[in-house]
Amino acid sequence: MSVFGLAGKRALVTGANTGIGQAIAVGLAEAGAHVVCAGRRSCGETVGLIEAAGGTGEELVMDLGDLRAAVSALPSGLDILVNNAGIIRREDSVDFAEADWDEVMDVNLKAVFQLCQRFARDVFASKAEGRIVNIASLLSFQGGIRVPSYTASKHGVAGLTKILANEWATRGINVNAVAPGYIATNNTEALRADTARNQAILERIPAGRWGDPADIAGAVTFLCTPAANYVTGAVLNVDGGWLAR
């Protein structure tokens, strides 16, 4: 098997119904993995894209807002876990509501930890090996504006990735994160439609363009392959050079 292949591997991607999560699911399938596409809404479209590309996949309804049920729904026998699902709430920090803080932290950080924990217990019990990739953010490094809970949660994802890598490296699980930059998805449509804001963003990105979800999928897929056997505890920026500016 190629060091860049995933034949025979079984992966689960959260938030796989659209955008970056959908691209990651398709990318893993194209590398040979069977992909469980998890989302709070149907991932049928993603499964269709996987099958059209010659891969195999299935969908799983998983609402991280009901964390106990989501953790219980995580299938056994997985080799790869990609924690992509996340939410954001915007408001001035002085006015930010406690309910919005709790909801974002629960989905973006607490759920990531508990899914990692459940995945690791299964891997250790089967004496197998595994890969975890958490989706971080540029706001794992920067503060941002009007997104206090999102920024805190994504800083937390970076830290969680490192501690789990420290604890699990000798037990067969590599834990890494990918931090996307400005990616052209439905979530950023309003930014791209704002001529002035779009221009300001593009002027800051050395690559001179918005990222494509497939750019994130390639990085995630690499971290899941044998080519990344000695990579753990890393937070890989896929941002067109934004943080280097």
- Please list the active-site residues: 150
Q: Running DSSP on this structure, what letter comes out for residue 186? A: G
> Could you tell me the two tokens for 188?
């950023």
The owner of tokens 């804001």 is 197
